Amino acid sequence: MNLHTVGLNHDSAPVEIREKIAFSASSVPIALSSFVHSFPLSEAVILSTCNRVEIYATSSDNSLNKESLLDFISAFHGLPKEKFADHMYHYQDMDAVRHLFFVASSLNSGVLGETQIISQVKEAYITATTAETTGSILNQLFQRSLNVAKDVHTRTSIGKGNISVSTVAVDLAIKIFKNFSEKTIFIIGAGEMCELVLKHLVERGAKTAIVANRNYDKAKSLAEEYDGKAINYENLDDYLPQADVIISSTASPRHVIHTEHIRNAIKARRGNPMLLIDIAFPRDIDPEIAKIDNVYLYDINDLNKVANSNAEDRKKDIGNCVVIIDKEVEKFMAWFEELKIGPAIAQLRNHFHEIGEQELERLRPKLGEIAHEEWEHIVYSMQRTLNKILHKPAKVGKEKAKNGGGYQYVETIKHLFGIHHKDDSKK
């Protein structure tokens, strides 16, 4: 009984290969049922995202290995094995468990600490349970992996602080304004980054947007998308006093917004704060503006600095994440080994008691007439002897299981006493 993972990710394979190996959401259930069809005693979960494709599988017979899993992928996608085999990694047992815990906790993600992967792992697991291709082992493994991921995210700062420029801008905005429903967002230049920030602010409740662009049509199309108003670029200054948040990213080589404009605007706003975000390079907004009271100005450098320092903070916490994960891997492996050792010990016990019963049966006729009580004493004494003999090996077996290697230990004992794999032959 082993656990296997084969897969590839953004590190191990170029996007062209990943595309070919990927399972679409609709093909995952089909692949799962075809997998358990090929390996009847197996459990399987397929995790397929834009960054990774992985199969987690276990089987109670020893039919699974790297080759058989690669063969399955090759057959399912109709792709010769040589084309992708070099990009695939394979982990077994403890390494497979550790890998999944790393993946779920997003330590293996392109963007460290992103939370999307948790829901993707959950999704993959639910799909597999719906397809009825999970059993006690993968259920336990995936449920634990989700708990580990949650633990890692709450107990470390791996997911804290935004690390993209647009979300950092929003982080700053929410420390100045309470709610955005009555705020006016003024977009100057209709670039992609502006739109991204606007989109985040709209998600936070912003309802009013003004867009100014040298190309009026462009401004109009962006404004329409967010129920905003497009204005003529020349009239820009007239609208400044209305703006609570100004996001600027024009291609202009000179400053677009000057100190005087903002000084007048803030006077007209009676001191109500303004947030100015300058994503342009060279800058659109005169940096002197930052000195005006109740005006908060951030340029692309400031935002990058915050994003980078957040990313650094996340990296610093990797060590703590690994500590949490390793502890959980250990716990899972103990459970996994115990799971394997439980039936083995039962088998050992049955074997000895069978021998005992046979001996008792042989003894009974030889004793002739004896009291029922006396016979019970004999039976009891035999059972006690056997239990005493078996106590130590069973205890050591369970201890070994917790530290790994329990399975091998029991196998040796079984071998020593000539116990055959009854379970295996039954299956």
Partner 1 sequence: MINILSPIQYIFVVTIVLYLLDSIWEIGSLFRPGRFSKRLADYFILTGLSFHCAFLIVVSIRSGTLPISTLFESSTFYLSLIVLLSVILKFLYRLQSLTPFVMPIVTGFSIASVALVRNDLTLTYNLKTFWLYAHIIPIFLGYASFSVSFILSIMYLTQERQLKKKAFGPLFDSLPSLETLDALMWKTITLGFPLLTIGLVSGTVWAKTSNILGLLWYLDPKVLLGSLTWLVYAAILHLRLGASFHGTRVALVTIAGFIIVLLTFIGPFLMGHNHGYEKRSLTLEQEIAPETTGITKVKS
Structure tokens at 85: 């085999």
User: Judged by CB, which is closer to partner 1: 290, or 396?
Assistant: 290
User: Closest Cα to residue 144, out of 324, 395, 388, 364?
Assistant: 324
Q: Angle at the Cα of 179 (from 175 to 184), degrees rounded to 5? A: 100
Q: Find the helix packing angle between 406-416 and 372-402, rounded to 10°.
A: 140
Sign of CA dihedral 121, 124, 127, 132: negative
User: Under 8 Å CB-to-CB from 388, ≥6 apart: which residues?
Assistant: none
Determine whether 50 is an active site residue. Answer: yes
Catalytic residue among 50, 251, 268, 389: 50
Of 124 and 307, which CB lies nearer to partner 1 in the complex structure?
Answer: 307
Tell me how far, at minimum, the Cβ of 174 lies from partner 1, in Å: 6
Interface residues with partner 1 (CB under 8 A) are 155, 172, 174-178, 267, 269-273, 290, 293-294, 296, 298, 302, 305-306
The nearest distance, CB 197 to partner 1, in angstroms, is: 17
Both tokens of residue 30? 């089909």
Least distance from partner 1 to the Cβ atom of residue 303, Å: 10
Contact between residue 51 and residue 15 where contact means Cβ atoms under 8 Å apart = no
> CB-wise, 178 or 392, nearer to partner 1?
178
Strand partners, 299: 278
As measured in angstroms, the least distance from the Cβ of 298 to partner 1 is 7
| Count of residues making up the chain | 427
294 touches 272 (CB < 8 A): yes
The DSSP symbol for 214 reads S
Is residue 338 helix, strand or coil? helix
Is the CB of 270 or the CB of 426 nearer to partner 1? 270
Nearer to partner 1 (CB atom), residue 35 or residue 298: 298
Number of Cβ within a 10 Å radius of residue 253: 7
Which helix (DSSP H) or strand (DSSP E) does residue 231 occupy?
Answer: strand 229-232
Q: What's 58-123 look like in SS3?
A: EECCCCCCHHHHHHHHHHHHCCCHHHCHHHCEEEECHHHHHHHHHHHCCCCCCCCCCCHHHHHHHH
Comparison of 293 and 373: residue with beta carbon closer to partner 1: 293
Query: In angstroms, what is the minimal distance from the CB of 299 to partner 1?
Result: 10
DSSP annotation of 285 reads B
How far is residue 407 CA from its own chain's centroid?
30
3-state secondary structure of 4: strand
Shortest gap between Cβ of 160 and partner 1 (angstroms)?
8
CB of 296 to partner 1, least distance (A): 5
Q: Which residues are catalytically annotated?
A: 50
